[in-house]
């Protein structure tokens, strides 16, 4: 099995070539500059090769524009009639039928836009100004872009991991693992036979003929120790990517690890993701409670004027994800006329703690409750005095939020999903699969999201034939995502370079009646 | 750099194929056609945050130059926008007669604030505005101009021009340079 040993030194030291390629910065710290026909100049980050050729160096096809791979093996391969004759991992924009570049002709291509065959390259390719030394640095970087061996990829097996934090909800954990284990078993069932060495064919949609193996990495102890634990896990069990996963109060160390170790982290079940759109490896379904905060702030801003509250009072446990959510609401409303008051819950029983912070709440106030089900139940003997009550559905349990009847009557839930009625058809598929596989549905949303993440991984890999390269996996997923129709809880998923959150909106909903869990939207889909 | 500039007069068509882009032997074909597009009655959100009618934005007495972008496009939208910016700059005083419009094909990501930031990157002068809105509105606008490809990663370089009060649009598929856009613009005016 090919295992590329992971060296932290490689990650820690960004090379000079990488700075040119990814950030458009020369070793002298001056910006990289280039021009296109008609003297349109570009410089710095806008001029960086990564913008078109991507982080993997494998290019892409955007519309009808084919941006070729420019890592070493793809530049220097001998001429071949078609891509089947090339013993290189399949990439869609490959150029088989041309003479190999040399260092000299490659420099000419970069400076003057002339191809290996002496003919002009695409208008899109800039003519760069580079000294001989900087050119050599860049070409050296290109030569090293495609790794010799890929972590987590064997001749007949693909290794993946899922990560679970110690404070993850045990019921969600069970539900997620159930889905993952069955999905991986399915993949295994259809890949029993020894498969011959893969040859790619651009005429055929390729199904990677390898078994999938799942490693479950359960973290322990305080978050400060998780990065080290993950490094050790990865060293013992090298994986191609991290799929799904489950967090509790913080996911930041996991995000940080995946970014530093260059491990794709695909759609973990976290209600508080890390918002860093310039990062590359972690993809999320949505911003979770932070999106909820924006939905609520957006509604409060709309209400301003007509039914503007005098105060917005936010209630949360200071050691839980409600705190950053409350901060996000305050930030969104800053500069407006509404005063935002933060009321962290003290220690002790929920009922008493809530009574204390809600004592002075009156009809001029809007309440925002960032509370888990146990705390919501503590509202039982507390009268509703606020004029508006917002509740986080992610924290509170969505349509199962145990709100006492008087609160249920007035509550408006932030709801970063498609409405249950509207997603029914899209949900038939995963729910049917759960039934067939006899997977108890203990948390429909987490399990649907997990199944969706697995499906997206499988679909993306099937387009990649034998090019199991982590960066390329992320890039292809970005490109293919918008095509997907079966998106379960989300009306639509889409990503792009520098976009890490696939679903960007939601609703504010209220309960149709006191008894059932039927939800009614206050308005159309909101994109804050 | 060799470029083929192909004008097809009298042809009404949406999404004319200019296949050679993927073929290195023809690095940048540009195809120009005339099409009488119907502007749909959709509401968009302008980069100043105002809800506007697409029809009214396009019929205020000025010529219109239109393209479709998204702010996270790192490959060729920056080139298209830079070109439009240069075109606007080279129009000079004439620029007050031209309404440049860039409509986002990723409206859920492209808020007015993001569009303003994007416009600043290309020195957009007054008279060049960016638009977002609902997904449905963006798609309707794309479809109306034969620019809808199903997903944003399948977009193609396209510039559309129409004289003030005109009915016929000049459709330019491919990467035109700022000067080529100027030539097209002046030819369009000459026909009025």
* ipTM of the prediction: 0.91
* CB–CB contact A52 B21 (8 Å): no
C-beta atoms of B74 and A504 within 8 A: no
Q: What is the mean pLDDT of residues A303-324?
A: 88
Q: Which two tokens stand for residue A164?
A: 């679970």
Give the phi and the psi of residue A71 in degrees, each rounded to 5: -85, 160
Give the pLDDT score at A208.
Answer: 46
Answer whether B43 touches A (CB < 8 Å). no
Is the pLDDT at A46 greater than 50? The verdict is yes
Highest mean pLDDT among A2-6, A484-488, B5-9: A484-488
Residue B65: pLDDT over 70: yes
Residue by residue, DSSP assigns A64-109 as TEEE---SHHHHHPPP-SSGGGS-S---TT---SSPPP-HHHHHHH
Using an 8 Å CB-CB cutoff, list chain A residues near B151.
482-483, 494
Q: Which residues touch B37 (CB under 8 Å, ≥6 apart)?
A: B144, B145, B146, B160, B169
CATH architecture of A289-415+508-521: 3-Layer(aba) Sandwich (3.40)
Which of B15, B75, B135 would you mutate first to test chain A, the one with the most A CBs within 10 A? B75
Place of tokens 């000025």: B62
Of A232, A271, A233, the closest CA to residue A251 belongs to A271
Residue A9 pLDDT: 40
- pLDDT level of residue A166 (50, 70, 90 thresholds): very high
Could you give the CA distance from residue B180 to residue B177 in angstroms, rounded to a whole number?
5
In A, minimum Cα distance to B155 occurs at A63
For the stretch B8-51, pLDDT in tens is 654 444 444 443 334 444 567 899 999 999 999 999 999 999 99
Domains in chain B (CATH in brackets) are 36-190 (3.40.30.10)
Asked if B82's CB is within 8 angstroms of A63's CB, the reply is no
pLDDT surpasses 70 at A472: yes
Could you report the per-residue pLDDT of A256-269, keeping only the tens digit for each?
999 999 999 999 99
Least confident range from A197-211, A384-398, A453-467, A497-511: namely A197-211
| Contact state of A62 with B76 under an 8 Å Cβ cutoff | yes
The pLDDT of residue A10 is above 60: no
Q: What does DSSP assign to residue A419?
A: -
Those residues whose C-beta lies under 8 Å from the C-beta of residue A359, and which sit 6 or more positions away, are: none
pLDDT tens digits, residue range A55-112? 999 999 988 889 999 999 999 988 888 777 777 888 888 888 889 999 999 999 999 9
* Residue A309 pLDDT: 83
Q: How many CB pairs under 8 A join A and B?
A: 116
d(CA A284, CA A503) in angstroms, rounded, equals 8
Does A42 reach chain B within 8 Å, measured CB to CB? yes
CB proximity B190 to A under 8 Å:
no
- Whether residue A113 lies within 8 A of chain B, CB to CB, comes out as yes
Segments of chain A assigned to CATH 3.40.50.2300: 157-285+422-489, 289-415+508-521
Q: Does A171 touch chain B (CB under 8 A)?
A: no
Q: Nearest CA of chain B to the CA of A252: how many Å?
A: 23
Among chain A residues, the shortest Cα distance to B181 is held by A38
Q: What percent of chain A has pLDDT over 70?
A: 93
Which residue of chain B comes nearest to A35, CA vs CA?
A: B79
Question: Does the pLDDT value for residue A413 go beyond 90?
Answer: yes
Q: How near does any CA of chain B get to the CA of A294, in Å? A: 13
pLDDT confidence of residue A192: 52
Per-residue pLDDT for A298 more than 70? yes
Q: Residue A432: CA atoms inside 13 Å, Cβ hemisphere, count? A: 7
Instruction: List CB contacts (< 8 A) between B1 and chain A.
Output: 37, 113, 120, 123
List C-alpha distances in Å: B37 to A335, A431, B55, B131.
43, 44, 12, 19
With 0-12 / 13-18 / 19 or more C-beta atoms within 10 angstroms meaning exposed / middle / buried, residue A463 is middle
pLDDT at residue A392 above 80? Answer: yes
- CA nearest to A478 within chain B: B153
Work out the minimum CA distance from A304 to partner chain B, whole angstroms: 17
- pLDDT for res A480: 94
Chain A residues in contact with B82 by the CB 8 A cut-off are: 40, 42
pLDDT at residue B139 greater than cutoff 50 = yes
Instruction: Check residue A461 and give its pLDDT.
Output: 93
Give whole-number Cα distances, A276 to A16, A255, A256, A272, A424, in Å.
Answer: 24, 10, 10, 12, 32
Rounded average pLDDT over A209-228: 95
Residue B46 parent element (H or E): strand B43-46
The pLDDT value recorded for residue A189 is 74
Q: What mean pLDDT comes out for the span B95-110?
A: 97
Contacts B74 to A, Cβ<8 Å: 50-52, 497-498
Q: What are phi and psi of A227, to 5 degrees?
A: -60, -45
Helices (H) then strands (E): counts for chain A: 18, 17
Least confident range of A226-235, A465-474, B37-46: A465-474
The average confidence (pLDDT) of chain A is 91
pLDDT at position A518 over 90:
yes
Tell whether A115 lies on the interface with B, counting CB pairs under 8 A: yes
pLDDT at A116 over 80: yes
Query: End-to-end CA distance of chain B, in Å?
Result: 33
Residue B176 has pLDDT above 50, yes or no: yes
Question: Tell me, what's the pLDDT at B57?
Answer: 98
Quick one: pLDDT at residue A510? Answer: 97
Please indicate whether, in this complex, the C-beta atoms of A64 and B22 are within 8 angstroms of each other.
yes
User: What is the three-class DSSP state of B90?
Assistant: helix
Model confidence, pTM: 0.92
For residue A249, the SS3 value is: coil
Residues β-bridged to residue A36: A40
State the alpha helices, DSSP H only, in A113-204. 132-143, 170-189
Cβ pair B24:A121 closer than 8 A: yes
Residue B190 to residue B162: CA distance in whole angstroms: 12
Comparing C-alpha atoms, which of B138, B134, B159, B158 is closest to residue B150? B138
Say which CATH topology domain A157-285+422-489 has. Rossmann fold (3.40.50)
3-state secondary structure of B110: coil
């Amino acid at each position: 099995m090919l295992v590329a040993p992971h060296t932290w030194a490689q990650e820690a030291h960004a090379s000079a070539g990488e700075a040119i390629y990814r950030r458009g910065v020369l070793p002298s710290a001056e910006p990289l500059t280039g021009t296109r026909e008609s003297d349109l100049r570009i410089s710095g980050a806008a001029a960086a090769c990564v913008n078109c050729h991507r982080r993997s160096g494998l290019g892409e096809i955007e519309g009808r524009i084919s941006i070729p791979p420019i890592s070493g093996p793809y530049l220097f391969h001998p001429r071949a009639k078609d891509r089947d004759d090339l013993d290189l991992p399949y990439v869609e924009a490959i150029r088989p039928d041309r003479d190999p570049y040399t260092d000299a002709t490659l420099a000419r291509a970069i400076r003057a836009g002339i191809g290996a065959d002496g003919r002009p390259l695409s208008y899109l390719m800039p003519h760069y100004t580079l000294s001989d030394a900087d050119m050599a640095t860049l070409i050296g970087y290109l030569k090293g872009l495609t790794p010799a061996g890929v972590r987590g990829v064997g001749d007949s097996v693909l290794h993946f991991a899922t990560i679970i934090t110690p404070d993850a909800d045990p019921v969600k954990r069970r539900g997620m693992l159930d889905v993952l284990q069955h999905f991986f078993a399915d993949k295994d069932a259809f890949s029993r036979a020894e498969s011959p060495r893969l040859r790619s064919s651009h005429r055929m949609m390729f199904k990677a003929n390898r078994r999938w193996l799942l490693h479950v990495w359960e973290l322990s102890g305080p978050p400060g120790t998780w990065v080290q634990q993950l490094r050790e896990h990865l060293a013992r069990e090298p994986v191609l990517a991290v799929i799904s996963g489950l967090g509790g109060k913080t996911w930041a160390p996991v995000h940080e690890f995946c970014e530093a170790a260059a491990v794709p982290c695909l759609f973990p079940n976290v209600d508080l993701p890390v918002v860093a759109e310039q990062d590359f490896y972690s993809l999320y379904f949505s911003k979770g409670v932070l999106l909820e905060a924006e939905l609520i702030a957006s509604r409060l801003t709309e209400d301003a004027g007509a039914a503007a509250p005098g105060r917005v009072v936010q209630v949360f446990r200071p050691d839980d994800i409600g705190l950053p959510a409350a901060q996000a609401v305050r930030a969104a409303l800053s500069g407006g006329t509404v005063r935002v008051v933060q009321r962290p819950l003290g220690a002790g029983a929920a009922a008493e703690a809530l009574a204390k912070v809600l004592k002075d709440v009156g009809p001029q106030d809007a309440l925002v409750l960032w509370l888990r089900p146990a705390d919501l139940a503590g509202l039982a003997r507390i009268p509703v005095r606020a004029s508006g009550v917002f509740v986080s559905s992610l924290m509170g349990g969505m349509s199962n939020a145990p709100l006492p009847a008087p609160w249920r009557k007035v509550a408006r839930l932030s709801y970063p999903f498609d409405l249950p009625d509207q997603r029914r058809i899209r949900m038939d598929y995963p729910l049917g699969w759960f039934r067939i596989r006899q997977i108890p549905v203990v948390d429909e949303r987490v399990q649907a999201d997990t199944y969706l993440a697995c499906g997206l991984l499988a679909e993306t890999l099937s387009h990649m034939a034998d090019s199991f390269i982590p960066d390329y996996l992320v890039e292809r997923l970005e490109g293919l995502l918008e095509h997907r129709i079966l998106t379960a809880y989300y009306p639509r998923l889409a990503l792009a370079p520098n976009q890490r959150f696939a679903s960007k909106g939601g609703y504010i909903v209220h309960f149709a009646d006191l008894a059932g869990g039927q939800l009614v939207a206050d308005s159309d889909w909101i994109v804050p | 750099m060799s470029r083929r500039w192909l004008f097809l007069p009298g042809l009404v068509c949406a999404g004319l194929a200019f296949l050679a882009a993927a073929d290195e032997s023809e690095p940048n074909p540009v195809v120009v056609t005339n099409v009488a597009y119907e502007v749909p009655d959709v509401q968009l959100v302008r980069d100043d945050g105002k809800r506007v009618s697409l029809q009214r934005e396009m019929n205020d007495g000025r010529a219109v130059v239109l393209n479709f972008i998204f702010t996270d496009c790192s490959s060729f939208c920056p080139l298209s926008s830079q070109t439009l910016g240069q075109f606007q700059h080279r129009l000079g005083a004439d620029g007050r007669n031209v309404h440049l419009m860039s409509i986002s094909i990723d409206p859920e990501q492209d808020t007015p604030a993001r569009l303003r930031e994007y416009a600043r990157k290309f020195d957009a002068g007054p008279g060049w505005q960016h638009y977002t809105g609902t997904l449905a509105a963006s798609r309707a606008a794309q479809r109306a101009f034969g620019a809808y490809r199903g997903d944003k990663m399948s977009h193609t370089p396209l510039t559309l021009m129409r004289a003030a009060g005109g009915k016929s649009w000049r459709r330019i598929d491919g990467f035109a340079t700022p000067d080529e856009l100027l030539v097209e613009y002046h030819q369009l005016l000459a026909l009025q």
